[in-house]
């Protein structure tokens, strides 16, 4: 990255099946937590942009929902958002896990790559969980499945391999303009970030189908600069009456815990005090309602 006078820029799509570490990678590259992460699959529902500025380039990373065999309308929209990244990227990063051989959804994604003309870098993630001698056979396996421009073992959690990845991406990117000011980290609004932080806590604290039946909408986001305070009101939408009771918990205990954890994370991210109010509303079968999917921000972007 030392070519004098050359400025490069471009869009880098991060794709892969659910729970391979795409959001963790984005956060590691940007150096801030702009995408929520949990150990549960299908945590990411929207495409999230993270912007990394280097001395002679700007890299715009696109974190995407996991690509899988979707059946519900919500999941189909999530997969469509991920697949749309193929058309808007200059480089693709396909992520797989070092902890197992090629998954059937990995093979499905590779098949979908055969008709595109983009450089694709394969990232073998979670190398911190395996012994080094197990990685070479996995590299060999994927080399025979697709012509990747590079295969890089990484650990999104520890940061291993990230600097090498940035170097390789810069080499591939075309010359281009600076799309965003230096201080911009993401294209998402503060309301979106706040809603995602709340949803992350629901995913971590609730069980079974509850996290997948919830949507969070920030109704009010008001900054009080004199008091160094942001007042946030948010609604947690659930699909059934029974789910409302679970989210609220006995004497409001679950809702209180969600709110406390979300508030602490928001105070770190926004670097100010947060006053957070949470409400729970039943929006019957919203995950199957195209109108509500649109209102909650899960419509497919053209």
Is 92 a residue whose pLDDT tops 90? yes
Query: 3-state DSSP call for residue 143?
Result: helix
pLDDT band at 301 (very low <50, low <70, confident <90, very high): very low
Is 103 a residue whose pLDDT tops 60? yes
Instruction: Give the per-residue pLDDT at 282.
Output: 96
Q: What angle (nearest 5°) sits at the alpha carbon of residue 23, between those of residues 140 and 185?
A: 125
What are the structural domains, with CATH classification, of the chain?
8-172 (3.40.50.300), 190-295 (3.30.300.20)
Distance CA 50, CA 40 (A): 22
Instruction: Give the per-residue pLDDT at 1.
Output: 52
Query: For residue 130, which of 140, 138, 120 has the smallest C-alpha distance?
Result: 138
Instruction: Give the per-residue pLDDT at 85.
Output: 78
Among 46-50, 75-79, 116-120, 197-201, which is the least confidently predicted range?
A: 75-79
Instruction: Tell me the pLDDT tens digit for each residue of 67-76.
Output: 777 667 776 7
Is 264 a residue whose pLDDT tops 90? yes
- pTM for the structure as a whole: 0.82
Is the Cβ–Cβ distance between 292 and 238 less than 8 Å? no
């Amino acid at each position: 990255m030392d070519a004098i006078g050359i400025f490069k820029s471009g869009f880098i799509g991060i794709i892969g099946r659910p729970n391979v570490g795409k959001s963790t990678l984005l956060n590691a590259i940007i150096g801030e937590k702009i995408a929520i992460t949990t150990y549960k699959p299908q945590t990411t529902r929207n495409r999230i942009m993270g912007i990394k500025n280097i001395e002679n380039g700007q890299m715009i990373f696109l974190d995407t929902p996991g690509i899988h065999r979707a059946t519900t309308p919500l999941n189909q929209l999530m997969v469509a958002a991920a697949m749309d990244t193929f058309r808007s990227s200059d480089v693709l990063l396909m992520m797989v896990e070092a902890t197992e051989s090629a998954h059937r959804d990995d093979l499905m994604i590779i098949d979908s790559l055969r008709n595109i003309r983009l450089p694709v870098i394969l990232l073998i993630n979670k190398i911190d969980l395996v012994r080094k001698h197990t990685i070479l056979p996995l590299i060999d396996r994927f080399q025979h499945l697709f012509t990747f421009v590079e295969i890089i073992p990484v650990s999104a959690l520890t940061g291993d391999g990230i600097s090498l990845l940035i170097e390789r991406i810069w080499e591939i990117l075309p010359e281009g303009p600076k799309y965003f000011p230096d201080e911009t980290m993401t294209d998402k609004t503060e309301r979106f970030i706040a809603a995602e932080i709340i949803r992350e806590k629901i995913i971590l604290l609730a069980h079974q189908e509850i996290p997948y039946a919830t949507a969070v909408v920030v109704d009010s986001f008001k900054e009080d600069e004199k008091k160094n305070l942001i007042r946030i009101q948010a609604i947690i939408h659930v699909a059934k009456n029974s789910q409302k009771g679970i989210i609220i918990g006995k004497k409001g205990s679950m809702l209180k815990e969600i709110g406390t954890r979300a508030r602490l994370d928001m105070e770190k991210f926004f670097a100010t005090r947060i006053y957070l109010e949470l409400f729970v509303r039943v929006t019957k079968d919203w995950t199957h309602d195209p109108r509500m999917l649109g209102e909650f921000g899960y419509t497919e972007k053209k």
